[in-house]
Amino acid sequence: MPGGTLGFRVSGKLTRGEYHEMLAPVRELIDRGEPLSLLIATDPDFSGLDAGALWEDVKAAGTIGLGHRSSWRRVAVVTDKEWMRHAMSAFGWLAPGEVSLFDPDDLAAAKAWLGETARA
């Protein structure tokens, strides 16, 4: 992974506890004032977030996303899930930093795109 980039692969249904585990290193980088890029790749069996994780995501959008908007560089989402692509198209403008969608076959391109900000 490029420097300053965190990457996560998600599968199944993401629970509240798993969501908290994912956010811990994100919070650490933000608390240290470091710029952040994020890679999220979905496995074929990924089916979304459970109710607890969804609520945590809504809360994090305000505290981590909008509250620290200047910390975010880029977010790459690697997925073949049409519902995620539609959600990103509709709400991606709310996300902090630049957001880009990639097909699963383009994981290397997603990493390269994230790396462009690490070198800048």
Question: What is the share, in percent, of the chain residues with pLDDT greater than 90?
Answer: 42
Instruction: Determine how many CB atoms are found less than 10 A away from the CB of residue 28.
Output: 12
Checking DSSP bridges between strand 98-102 and strand 48-49, what pairing results, if any? unpaired
More confident of the two residues 11 and 59 = 11
Mean pLDDT of the chain: 84
Mean pLDDT within 92-112:
88
**Tens digits of per-residue pLDDT, 48-86?**
999 988 887 777 765 565 556 667 889 899 999 998 898
What is the per-residue pLDDT for 36? Answer: 87
Domains of the chain, CATH where assigned = 5-115 (3.30.750)
Binned at pLDDT 50, 70 and 90, residue 1 comes out as: low
- How far apart CA 84 and CA 41 sit, in angstroms, is 11
Q: Is 119's pLDDT higher than 90?
A: no
Identity of the amino acid at 8: F
